[in-house]
Structure 1
Amino acid sequence: MEAKEVLEKVKKGEISIEDAESFFRREPFEELGYAKLDTHRKIRSGFAEVIFCSGKSDEHLLEIFKKLYQKEGEVLGTRASKDQYELIHKECQEAVYDPLSRIIKIEKKDKIRTGKIAVCTAGTADIPVAEEAAQTAEYFGSNVERIYDVGVSGLHRLLAKLEVIQKANCVIAAAGMEGAMASVLGGLVDKPVIAVPTSVGYGANMNGIAALLTMINSCANGVAVVNIDNGYGAGYMATQINRLAVKAEI
C-alpha cells in the first residue's frame, strides 16, 4: 500500500491506527542480501523503483521483479533480453515485453495519463532509444506523441509536425550521427528539450560521442542532455517536467 492509501483506510476505519503506525515504521528499504529494494522511493520522489535488467542473474532478477510487483501492483524493467522476459513470464503471466525498447513491464489497467510529451527521432534507427523514453514516460503517467524520422537531412518533415510538437509540455529529441536535431528543436519551441544522443552512426560518430558533444555544445537555449542511448533517463525527466506543467494548469 502507498502512504495515502494507508491514511484513507485509517480515515474509513478499515485499518487501525496501530497498523498504520506499523506501516510507517518499516525500514525505507527491504533487505534481500544481494539487493536493497527502495520501497519508499515513490513516497519520496513520486516514482517507484525501476529494474535495470541487464547483467542481473536470473535468480536475482526474478525475485526483484516479483517483490516490486507485489508491493507496487506494477513494475518496469529496462534493458531486458528476450530470455529474461521468458524467465519472468513463466511466473508472472501479466508481464509483457517489447523487443524494440527492451522494456518488460506489468502495468496497472486503470492508469490515468495526463499532459503531453513529444518524443522525436532524427532517424528510424533512433527509434529503439526513443521507445525506451516514450514507454517510460507512459508508464509513469504521461501522454506521449511519437514523431519519428524528422531529422535535419529533411527539415521539411520536422516543420510539417511543428504545431504538434509545440503543444507538448516537454520535447525529447533522440538523434545519432551529428545530433543536430536537438539544436533545431531548441530554437523552435518554448518548452524544455531533452536531447538523447544515440550510438547510431558511422565511425567518427564514436558510438554516440559525436552526437553527445554536439548536443552539450548546442547554441539553442533550453536544451539539456542525458547520457548516450539513455532513453529511460529522458523519459523520467520529461515526466517530471510534464507533471509540473499539469500542476501549473490546474
Structure 2
Amino acid sequence: MDAIDLERIARAVAEGDLTPADLIEHLRVESVSDLGYAQVDNERGVRTGVSEIIYGEGKTPSQIAGIVAAMRDAGQRRALITRLDAEKASSLQVLGVDIAYHERARAAVSGPLPDADGNGEILVLTAGTSDLAVADEAVLTARFLGNRVTCVHDVGVAGIHRLLSHARQISHAQVIIAIAGMEGALPSVVAGLASCPVIAVPTSVGYGASFGGIAALLGMLNSCSSGISVVNIDNGFGAAYQASLINHLKAREHDI
C-alpha cells in the first residue's frame, strides 16, 4: 500500500463508505514479508510515497516472482522491476507473473501505470541516439511514479542548434533530466538555459579515454552551471526517481 492508497481509504472512512474496522483491516499488514532470500518492506509506500522497486539484476526469476507476489499480498497494486534482461522477463511470464516488458529500458512493470499527478512536466534530453537505453529507463520510471514526461533525443552539443530549437520546452519544464556520454557537456549547457532543476546522467558511451562514463561523470560533477545534480553512470532510474520527488513537492505547513 502506498500513500495514495492510504489517503483514498482514509477519505472513504471520512465519507462513511468504510467503517473504522475496515480501515484497521486494510492496515493490518506485517511491516516486513520475510521470504528467506528477501525482506520485503511493506510499509515503505506509506513512509515515502513509493513502495519498493525491484532491482532485477542478480536475482533469479523465481525470486523476483516471489517478491512481486509478496508485494501484491501486502496490497501493492503495481511493481517496477529494473535491470531485467529479456530472457529473465520471459521466464517471469512463464511463471505466471503478469508484466509489461520494455526491452530497451531493460525494465518491466507489473500492474497498470498510474495517472500523472505531478506539478508539471519532466523533460528528458539525450545527447545522442546511443543514450536511448538510459533515457528509456528514466522515462518508464518517471511514468511509473505518476509523472507526465516528454523526451527529446539527439540534441548534444556537437550541433547546438538542435538543442536551441527546443528552448520553449526547456523553459516550460518542471524538472529536466539531461543524459550524455563522451565528455558529458549537455547538462552544463541545459542548466544555462533552464530555470528548473537539472539532473545530469552520465552514460558509458564513448571511446577509450571516456573510461566507461567516468569522464562524463567528472565533467558533470565539475560543471560551472548552477542547479545541476548528478547521479551515477547509466542510472536513468535514479535520475527519474529524484525528478519525480521534485515534481511532486508541495508546500508544507509547520506548526510554530
The reply to whether TM is greater than 0.5 is yes
| Residue equivalent to 2:240 | 235
2:112 corresponds to 1:108: yes
Matches within 5 A, 1:70-219: 70=73, 71-92=75-96, 94-108=98-112, 111-114=115-118, 115-219=120-224
| Residue equivalent to 2:7 | 4
1:175 is aligned with what amino acid?
Answer: A
2:95 corresponds to 1:68: no
- Give, in angstroms, the shift of residue 165 of structure 1: 1.7
Task: Give me the identity figure in percent.
Answer: 42
| Aligned partners of 2:191 and 2:198 also within 8 Å | yes
CA distance in 1, matches of 2:18, 2:37: 33
Going by fraction, where is helix more abundant, 1 or 2?
Answer: 1
The 1:35–1:110 alpha-carbon spacing in structure 2 relative to 1, beyond 3 Å, is: closer
2:42 corresponds to 1:47: no
Count of matched residue pairs = 246
| Aligned partners of 1:113 and 1:138 also within 8 Å | no
| Residue equivalent to 2:254 | none
| Aligned partners of 2:65 and 2:97 also within 8 Å | no
Structure 2 residues not aligned, in runs of 5+: 252-256
| Residue equivalent to 1:33 | 36
The 1:213–1:112 alpha-carbon spacing in structure 2 relative to 1, beyond 3 Å, is: closer
Give CA deviations for 1:134-179 in whole Å, capped at 9, x if unaligned. 1100111111110110000000000001111221100001100000
| Aligned partners of 1:123 and 1:175 also within 8 Å | yes
| Aligned partners of 1:111 and 1:141 also within 8 Å | yes
- Give, in angstroms, the shift of residue 110 of structure 1: 5.9
1:106 is aligned with what amino acid?
Answer: S
| Aligned partners of 1:121 and 1:130 also within 8 Å | yes
- Give, in angstroms, the shift of residue 208 of structure 1: 0.5
- Give, in angstroms, the shift of residue 104 of structure 1: 0.6
1:67 is aligned with what amino acid?
Answer: A
TM-score, normalised to structure 1, is: 0.91
Q: Secondary structure at 2:62's aligned position in 1?
A: helix
| Residue equivalent to 2:61 | 58
Structure 1 residues not aligned, in runs of 5+: none
CA distance in 2, matches of 1:88, 1:220: 44
